[in-house]
Amino acid sequence: MFKTIHIITHEFPPVRGGAGVYCLELAMAASSRDHVVNVWAPKGSSCIENFKVCKFSWVGSQGMFSSFRLVRVIKKYISNGEKKDIFHLAEPGCVRAFVRFGWMIKPKIRFYLTIHGSELIRFTKNKFEKYLFRKLLTRCEKIHVLSEYNRQKILELFPETKDKIAKIPGAPSTYFVKEDTNFSQHKKDGEINILCVGRLHPRKGQDQLLLALNQLPVNLQKNIVVRLVGPHRKVKFVEKLQKLKLQSRSEIIFHGDLTNNELKKVYEKSDIFCLTSMPHPHSVEGFGFVYLDASLHGLPILANRTGGVEDAVLENKTGILVDPGDTDSLTTQLMRLISDHDLCKLLGENGREWARENSWDRVARELYE
């Protein structure tokens, strides 16, 4: 029996990316099940009262020096600590660190590893890195994947990992689960609010939404408010979105990053959730926790059929999926959701049930117990 679960990550709140959310939610769920949890996280990470946060003295990155420092810190801890502990490599940056320098740790350690999706692209392009990745996966006791897409992809690349793979889908944010999700709407008559949550990046496909929006009839565009929530990290892509905004008759609002409380209010005033993730040479939508957050709030979803999205959005039950890059189909389905109130209501009700079926407690239980 293990004594402590060590969740190792280069991303943790206040950073709000998917991997950081995963690490926070999993740590809270495991600690609520009476496990002792240590989270090893970058300098500047938030302190959480439910468990211990061991902060590195540097900000994490996938750079070579950062990777070396991380493995050296964990190696030192292991040499003085408990060999029966679980060391969970829970985020791509720390996984890459152990791909590069995991050989420095000689003792047999209980490694768990999570595949979010993009690792299977980035860590297999170089033959030598792929070889080291395979060596690390061989050492792992359990490999957590969030979607069938990731399970199939890892089996294609590393079939020898079959018996180690645990496919457990993600869950909506516990912050929203604790809230009453039967919201009353406060909108102007005839106004349609479309919400998109995700960092502004080509892989998240906000441009696809705006392209489809601009193909709608002008008189309909005038009734639509689009809210783009997420940090601005790609200047040229944001400039592209701004140009598409100028071409639209709709009101398009760039909210930037929001707190949970601010995001909750935005969910409350929304009618449709649309995140049209796109295939990308260096990353993939491995699951998409925000889809379950949106479903929990009773929002019908419009998304692209890519990566692990089909595990988060149940096609024609909680949302509508279209092929990436098919702007005409995206426009058609957007029009369909705008005009069919009964369909939106059905997808939203199904979504609430689906979101409530998934919990972080279940993830912690199936992964660690």
pLDDT digits (tens, 9 = 90+) for 332-349: 999 999 999 999 999 999
Q: Are residues 322 and 218 in the same domain?
A: yes
Lowest-confidence segment of 26-40, 79-93, 308-322 by average pLDDT: 79-93
Q: Please give the structure tokens belonging to residue 101.
A: 């320098």
Q: Are residues 269 and 289 in the same domain?
A: yes
Is residue 363 assigned to a domain?
Answer: no
Is residue 366 assigned to a domain?
Answer: no
Mean pLDDT for 316-332 is: 97
Domain region containing 241:
176-356
CATH of the domain at 43: 3.40.50.2000
Is residue 131 assigned to a domain?
Answer: yes
Is residue 63 assigned to a domain?
Answer: yes
Q: Are residues 190 and 134 in the same domain?
A: no
Q: Are residues 295 and 351 in the same domain?
A: yes
Q: Residue ranges of the alpha helices (H) in 234-318?
A: 235-246, 260-268, 289-296, 309-312
Longest dimension (CA), the chain: 69
Of 123, 144, 167, the residue at which a domain comes to its end is 167
Give the count of domains, the chain.
Answer: 2
Instruction: Measure the CA–CA gap between 181 and 302, rounded to whole angstroms.
Output: 20
Task: Band the pLDDT of 184: cuts 50, 70, 90.
Answer: very low
Q: What is the per-residue pLDDT for 21?
A: 94
Mean pLDDT for 185-203 is: 84
Q: Please give the structure tokens belonging to residue 134.
A: 């395979």
Task: Band the pLDDT of 80: cuts 50, 70, 90.
Answer: confident
Query: What φ, ψ does residue 236 adopt, rounded to 5°?
Result: -65, -35
Given a cut of 60, whether residue 251 has pLDDT beyond it is yes
Task: Band the pLDDT of 88: cuts 50, 70, 90.
Answer: very high
Count CB-CB contacts under 10 A for residue 52.
16
